């Protein structure tokens, strides 16, 4: 029996990790990593207030080859948290980084 997991790419901003992957052609992000970038407690239920298509639980491969279950957020779920639920002026820069650098890098790797 094989277990399906998502391979993630590791991106760093200000020394903090953000794991991301494409599921189909859509970017998804490890919610715990995004919470750290936003300065949000890991105990916050990040999926509350999001639509069901903006989050999912998934198995992702960690750095040492281990697999762990993580809450994953879609691109729109990510923006929803940054702009609506946990707004801070710095989040504009984070959104630009995700939109202009991270996502194009994910897609370019998939196309290769």
- The pLDDT of residue 3: 63
What is the model's pLDDT at position 64? 76
Instruction: Write down the domain spans for the chain.
Output: 9-111
Q: What is the DSSP string of 56-86?
A: EEEEEE-TTS-EEEEEEEEHHHHHHIIIIIS
Check residue 39 and give left, alpha or beta (phi > 0: left; psi -120 to 50: alpha): left
* pLDDT, tens only, 65-87: 788 899 999 999 999 999 888 88
48, 3, 33: which is closest to 102 by C-alpha?
33
Q: In this predicted model, what pLDDT tens digit does every residue of 19-69 receive, in sequence order?
A: 999 998 899 999 999 999 999 886 778 888 899 999 999 998 876 778 889
The mean per-residue pLDDT over the stretch 2-7 comes to 74
């Amino acid at each position: 029996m094989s277990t399906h997991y998502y391979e993630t790419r590791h991106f760093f901003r200000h020394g903090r990790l953000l794991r991301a992957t494409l599921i189909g052609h859509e970017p998804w992000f490890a919610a715990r990593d995004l919470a750290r970038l936003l300065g949000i407690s890991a105990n916050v239920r990040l999926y509350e207030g999001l639509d069901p298509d903006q989050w999912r639980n998934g198995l992702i491969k960690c750095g040492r080859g281990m697999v762990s279950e993580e809450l994953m957020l879609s691109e729109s779920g990510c923006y929803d948290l940054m702009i609506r639920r946990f707004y801070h002026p710095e989040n504009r820069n984070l959104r630009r980084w995700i939109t202009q650098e991270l996502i194009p890098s994910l897609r370019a790797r998939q196309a290769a």
